[in-house]
């Protein structure tokens, strides 16, 4: 990777959807520097509010309002009802946005021939490694596999939310050390707090995938009040800081909208919801819809007005009036993948729909299917750490967000 630096400070924060990788016993982080014109920008002059949107006010607000409204509707209509998940709800809340956003990643990686040529190691080397690791872990213990994958998924969800916050910070030119740490820790407090309370609830199960997961460590319920108190402290300090920034003309609207929505999605989706559909709505919709939208915008800006070039198919579906076709390119493989999942692994919907019992797989065959079908999701988690970096390795991202490279 080009322009990758080794650092512990806020100046190395990746203003995108990425995470750090520790190595050896020295737990420093490989993180990318922001473009030089964004690093350590003193906030002396207020930025125009319009310049702080990633795309536009309509676009940025829409990708948050749509999942918010849908989540609140699910809360009102389903709260306190039975825990069964009908097929239509599974398709809408899980497949249509959560699984589809995984496949949307391919449109800025494997389907882009220029990226394919320049990043072959990144795109292909992890594939056999993840296949082998996934197969071996599932063959050893399916419950352990699903448990570990659930924790990785939680980490990924949190990091994506901070990724959007970091993009807004980069857009506004924020460089204050205090805001770097306060923003990051406040986001993690709002997400991890409900997760820790979940671990402190003896009557609840760790059912992120509902595949037999278990809590790696349980927390004494007596600490629930302490967790809430820590969350409250972060919330008060953060709000106080934002009031201060507002008074000096440096209030970052997009960053604060994402912070508020992130806290709401975890507090309701994990902390308060007692129905799987409500949890899925507050977590998956806030996760999938903004991602698909920003990928579409990135592709549209890259290929706007072009239907040829090295990737004619992606260019064709990325035109402004073909956004529905763009979405279908991500949705169709998502439906196909979930059909295979249900047919060979879960067997929850297809047997009743087809009035046909699928043959039971041997443990070895089951582990093979799980390894193959988990690969898109795991590769999405991995690639998400690289394809949103503003370190020069994703020049189309700079153009899509109208951020000049230093």
Structure tokens at 24: 């050896």
Q: What local confidence, expressed as pLDDT, does residue 224 receive?
A: 96
How many Cα atoms occupy the beta-carbon half-sphere of 261 within 13 Å? 32
pLDDT digits (tens, 9 = 90+) for 32-46: 334 333 334 444 444
Tokens 């990135």: give the residue: 298
Rounded CA gap, 61 and 258, in Å?
Answer: 10
Res. 172: pLDDT tops 50: yes
Nearest to 332 by CA among 160, 110, 63, 102: 102
Q: What does the buried/exposed string (b/e) look like for 62-97 if buried means 16 or more CB atoms within 10 Å of the residue's CB? A: ebbebbbebbeebbeebeeeeeebeeebbbbbbbbb
β-strand partners of 5: 31
Rounded CA gap, 306 and 390, in Å?
Answer: 24
The answer to the question of residue 62 being in a domain is yes
Q: What is the count of structural domains for the chain?
A: 1
| DSSP 8-class letter at 307 | S
The answer to the question of residue 405 being in a domain is no
Which domain covers residue 371, as residue numbers? 4-400
The answer to the question of residue 23 being in a domain is yes
Rounded CA gap, 56 and 35, in Å?
Answer: 22
Sign of CA dihedral 41, 42, 43, 46: negative
pLDDT digits (tens, 9 = 90+) for 17-76: 443 333 233 333 333 334 333 334 444 444 444 358 999 999 999 999 999 998 888 777
Q: Distance between alpha carbon 165 and the CA centroid of its chain, in Å?
A: 12
Structure tokens at 168: 């807004």
Q: What local confidence, expressed as pLDDT, does residue 71 receive?
A: 87
β-strand partners of 306: none
The answer to the question of residue 338 being in a domain is yes
Q: Distance between alpha carbon 356 and the CA centroid of its chain, in Å?
A: 36
Tokens 């003309």: give the residue: 249
Query: Average pLDDT in the 266-284 region?
Result: 85
The answer to the question of residue 91 being in a domain is yes
The answer to the question of residue 136 being in a domain is yes
Res. 14: pLDDT tops 50: no
Q: What local confidence, expressed as pLDDT, does residue 13 receive?
A: 40
Give alpha helix (H) positions in 213-252.
Answer: 224-247
pLDDT digits (tens, 9 = 90+) for 183-195: 999 999 999 999 9
pLDDT digits (tens, 9 = 90+) for 301-328: 999 887 777 888 999 999 989 999 999 9
The answer to the question of residue 406 being in a domain is no
The answer to the question of residue 25 being in a domain is yes
């Amino acid at each position: 990777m080009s322009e990758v630096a080794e650092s512990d400070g806020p100046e190395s924060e990746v203003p995108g959807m990425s995470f750090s990788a520790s190595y050896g016993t020295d737990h420093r982080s490989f993180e990318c520097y922001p473009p030089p014109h964004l690093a350590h920008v003193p906030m002396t002059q207020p930025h125009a509010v319009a310049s702080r949107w990633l795309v536009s006010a309509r676009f940025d607000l829409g990708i948050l309002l749509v999942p918010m409204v849908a989540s609140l509707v699910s809360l009102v209509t389903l709260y306190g009802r039975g825990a069964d998940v009908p097929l239509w709800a599974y398709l809408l809340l899980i497949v249509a946005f959560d699984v589809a956003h995984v496949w949307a990643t391919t449109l800025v990686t494997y389907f882009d021939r220029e990226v394919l040529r320049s990043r072959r190691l990144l795109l292909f080397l992890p594939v056999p490694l993840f296949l082998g690791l996934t197969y071996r872990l599932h063959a050893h213990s399916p419950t352990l596999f699903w448990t570990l994958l659930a924790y990785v998924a939680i980490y990924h969800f949190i990091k994506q939310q901070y990724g959007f916050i970091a993009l807004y910070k980069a857009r506004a030119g924020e460089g204050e050390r205090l805001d770097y740490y306060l923003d990051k820790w406040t986001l993690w407090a709002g997400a991890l707090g409900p997760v820790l309370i979940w671990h402190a609830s003896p009557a609840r199960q760790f059912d992120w995938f509902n595949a037999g997961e278990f809590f790696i460590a349980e927390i004494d319920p007596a600490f629930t009040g302490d967790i809430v108190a820590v969350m409250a402290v972060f919330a008060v300090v953060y709000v106080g800081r934002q009031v201060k920034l507002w008074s000096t003309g440096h209030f970052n609207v997009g960053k604060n909208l994402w912070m508020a929505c992130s806290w709401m999605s975890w507090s309701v989706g994990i902390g308060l919801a007692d129905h799987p559909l409500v949890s899925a709505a507050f977590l998956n919709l806030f996760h999938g819809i903004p991602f698909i939208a920003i990928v579409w915008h990135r592709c549209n800006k890259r290929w706007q007005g072009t239907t040829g070039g090295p990737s004619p198919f992606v260019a064709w579906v990325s035109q402004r009036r073909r956004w529905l076709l763009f979405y279908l390119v991500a949705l169709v493989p998502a439906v196909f993948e979930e059909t295979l999942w249900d047919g060979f692994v879960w067997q929850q919907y297809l047997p009743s729909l087809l009035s046909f019992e699928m043959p039971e797989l041997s443990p070895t065959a089951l582990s093979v299917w799980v390894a193959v079908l988990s690969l898109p999701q795991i590769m999405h988690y991995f690639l998400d750490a690289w394809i949103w970096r503003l370190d020069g390795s994703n020049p189309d991202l700079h153009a899509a967000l109208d951020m000049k490279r230093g």
